[in-house]
Amino acid sequence: MTLALFFFAIPTHAETDSDSAKSELPKVRILTSMGAIELQLRPDVAPKTVENFLQYARDGYFDGTIFHRVIPGFMIQGGGFTGNMTRKETRSPIQNEASPTLPNLRGTVAMARTNAPDSATSQFFINVADNDFLNAGVRGAGYAVFARVMFGMGVVDTIANVKTARVRGMADVPVTPVLIESVTLMD
């Protein structure tokens, strides 16, 4: 619990203006067909992962993708498939920046990947529970946490509980697509 509070520390009033400016962390808004989710990104702890995510957002890559894997009590995953379950082409994979000090807690956002540690591209997931088994060192390299939900966890929970089925050989796909309309950087 202490790690989570430290990881997302809020600046105190005792900080100077320059300290506050340094502590400003980028925020993004994910607009979905079920509502908005706002994230605080952590380039100070996962710089390559955050830059990768922001580049996909700036390119409009996420617009029109879906949350294609939804498992209640676990996570919601999106950022790689269109509404008709067509996989989008991605850039090259990035280095895994998972760290034992950055746990996969409820409301954190991490990169999805294959069994290869350095295989993450565009897909991300939002933890709807504390998923300790995804942390670095528990079962291997872990999954890199790079953000947390600041607003819209109710939307995440609603998405996590939609009806799912097998679609095109994939399990846990929402029967009614949950669209990611846009991902934009907030001021």
* CA pseudo-torsion sign 40, 3, 105, 140: positive
* Domain presence at residue 12: no
Number of separate domains in the chain = 1
Torsion of CA 96, 102, 68, 187, to 10 degrees: -100
20 in a domain, yes or no? no
Residue 9 lies in a domain: no
| Domain assignment of residue 14, yes or no | no
Which pLDDT belongs to residue 187? 84
Residue 16 domain-assigned? no
Look at residue 3 and tell me if it is in a domain: no
- The CATH number of the domain holding residue 125 is 2.40.100.10
Query: Is 19 contained in some domain?
Result: no
3-state secondary structure of 19: helix
**pLDDT for residue 102:** 87
- How many CA atoms, within 13 angstroms, populate the side-chain half-sphere of residue 158? 12
Q: What tokens does 54 get? A: 């922001």
pLDDT digits (tens, 9 = 90+) for 45-59: 999 999 999 999 999
13-44 pLDDT tens trace:
344 343 444 468 999 999 999 999 999 999 99
What is the mean pLDDT, run by run of 10 residues, along the chain of 187 residues? 38 40 82 98 96 98 98 98 96 95 95 97 98 94 98 98 96 98 96
Say if 170 falls within a structural domain. Answer: yes
Is beta strand 170-174 parallel, antiparallel or unpaired with respect to 164-167? antiparallel
- pLDDT of res. 23: 60
Report the pLDDT value the prediction gives residue 70, as an integer from 0 to 100.
Answer: 98
Domain ranges, residue 122: 27-186
Helix (H) or strand (E) run with residue 164 in it: strand 164-167
